């Protein structure tokens, strides 16, 4: 803020360049996606909420409105290019051009590779890797024309180090790291930044599936994960949301092409 300027009411402490921006958050029905949508709304963004299921989309959007945010639901299967085109068109007509895209929607089925049907492997790739491609391809022309935009891809620690029982997921999330770097090289110097976040173990409903795969209780699973990093606990969705908001802000430009691990110090 320049000397003598007066802050817009309610904007003190907000990240630069987010207020009034239209942000599309995929997979925003629960967990990390819902936390990202809430944080961006708190930063003043107009949030397009995209889970797969309409009830979750409506519920998340309503929660954001109840806390003073501006949000509308747009349920869609992000792996379907036709549905994504219709969704983005609806967002543009209702809210305006998408200026921030957060590719968070994901699919994870915990199973050993030799037991995984090919169609389930394919669903991981469709949602976790093709989905970000389809969404980014649809919104990037508008961002480039405006000379400003952010795409934040949600990868995973498993995309960096792999995980037993999550081979397909790890492969897709690892591909998302390479996708992020390669795509940024295509748009650099044009006001658009492509970045990624690689969360470690986060306290979301997915932990119940992890526990079932490991054959232990949820509390035992949380305890085991807590010993595998340097902070001695699992992360929260809100911590990931804070990093995403920063990368989407004006100050996130310098991180273009990078994947930021938020793993509590875990690297293997």
Are 209 and 137 contained in the same domain?
no
**Same structural domain, 150 and 230:** no
Mean pLDDT, the chain, whole residue set: 92
Residue 96 lies inside a defined structural domain of this protein? yes
Task: Express each pLDDT in 219-258 by its tens digit.
Answer: 998 898 888 888 889 899 999 999 999 999 999 999 999 9
Q: Is residue 118 part of a domain?
A: yes
Same domain, 230 and 154: no
- The reported pLDDT for the residue numbered 10 is 52
Q: Are residues 151 and 247 in the same domain?
A: yes
Q: Do 75 and 54 form a contact (C-beta atoms < 8 A)?
A: yes
Neighbours of 155 (CB within 10 A): 27
In a shared domain, residues 73 and 186: yes
Q: Which of 121, 133, 169, 246 is catalytic?
A: 169
In a domain, 194, yes or no: yes
Give the residue, 234 or 153, on which the prediction is more confident. 153
Task: For residues 188 and 134, state if they share a domain.
Answer: yes
- What total of structural domains would you count in the chain? 2
Give the CATH number, domain containing residue 139.
3.40.50.720
Q: What is the pLDDT of residues 52-96, one digit of tens each?
A: 999 999 999 999 999 999 999 999 999 999 999 999 999 999 999
Residue 15 falls inside a structural domain = no
58 in a structural domain:
yes
pLDDT band for position 6 (cuts 50, 70, 90): very low
In a domain, 80, yes or no: yes
Residue 88 included in any domain:
yes
Residues 143 and 226 in one domain: no
- Same domain assignment for residues 228 and 249: no
Beta strands in 59-216 (DSSP E): 70-73, 100-103, 149-154, 192-199
Domain assignment of residue 9, yes or no = no
Q: Is 249 helix (H, G, I), strand (E, B) or coil?
A: coil
Predicted pLDDT of residue 210 = 86
Tell me which of 5 and 153 has the higher pLDDT.
153
Q: Are residues 131 and 223 in the same domain?
A: no
In this prediction, residue 166 carries a pLDDT of: 93
Q: Which two tokens stand for residue 5?
A: 């300027």
List, edge to edge, every strand of the sheet that includes 70-73.
70-73, 46-50, 22-26, 100-103, 149-154, 192-199, 259-262
Give the residue numbers spanning the domain of 135: 22-200+236-262
Residues 89 and 212 in one domain: no
Q: How many CB atoms lie within 10 A of CB 268?
A: 7
Give which of 170, 184, 110, 102 is closest to 135, Cα–Cα.
102
Considering the domain architecture, whether residues 120 and 214 belong to the same structural domain is answered as no
What CA–CA distance (Å, rounded) separates 134 from 111? 27
Closest by alpha carbon to 54, among 89, 87, 21? 87
By DSSP bridging, strand 70-73 and strand 46-50 are: parallel
Active site residue 169: yes
Whether 128 and 256 share a structural domain:
yes
pLDDT at 63: 96
């Amino acid at each position: 803020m320049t000397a003598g300027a007066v802050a817009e009411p309610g904007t003190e402490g907000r990240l630069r360049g987010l207020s009034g921006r239209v942000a599309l958050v995929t997979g925003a029905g629960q967990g990390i996606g819902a936390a990202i949508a809430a944080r961006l709304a708190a930063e003043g963004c107009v949030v397009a909420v995209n889970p797969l299921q309409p009830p979750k989309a409506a519920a998340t959007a309503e929660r954001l409105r109840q806390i003073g945010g501006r949000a509308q639901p747009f349920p869609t299967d992000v792996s379907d290019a036709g549905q994504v085109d219709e969704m983005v068109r609806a967002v543009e007509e209702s809210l305006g051009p998408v200026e921030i895209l957060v590719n968070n929607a994901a699919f994870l089925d915990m199973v050993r590779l030799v037991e995984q049907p090919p169609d389930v492997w394919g669903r991981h790739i469709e949602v976790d890797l093709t989905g970000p491609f389809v969404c980014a391809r649809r919104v990037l022309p508008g961002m480039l024309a405006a000379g400003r935009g952010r795409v934040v891809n949600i990868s995973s620690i498993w995309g960096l180090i792999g995980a037993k029982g999550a081979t397909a997921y790890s492969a897709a999330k690892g591909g998302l790291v390479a996708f992020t770097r390669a795509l940024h090289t295509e748009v650099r110097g044009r006001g658009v930044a492509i970045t990624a976040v690689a969360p470690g173990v986060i306290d979301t409903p997915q932990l119940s599936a992890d526990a079932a795969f490991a054959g232990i209780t949820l509390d035992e699973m949380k305890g085991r994960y807590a010993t595998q990093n340097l902070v001695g606990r699992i992360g929260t969705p809100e911590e990931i949301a804070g990093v995403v908001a920063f990368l989407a802000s004006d100050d996130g430009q310098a991180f273009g092409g990078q994947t930021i691990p938020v793993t509590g110090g875990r690297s293997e």
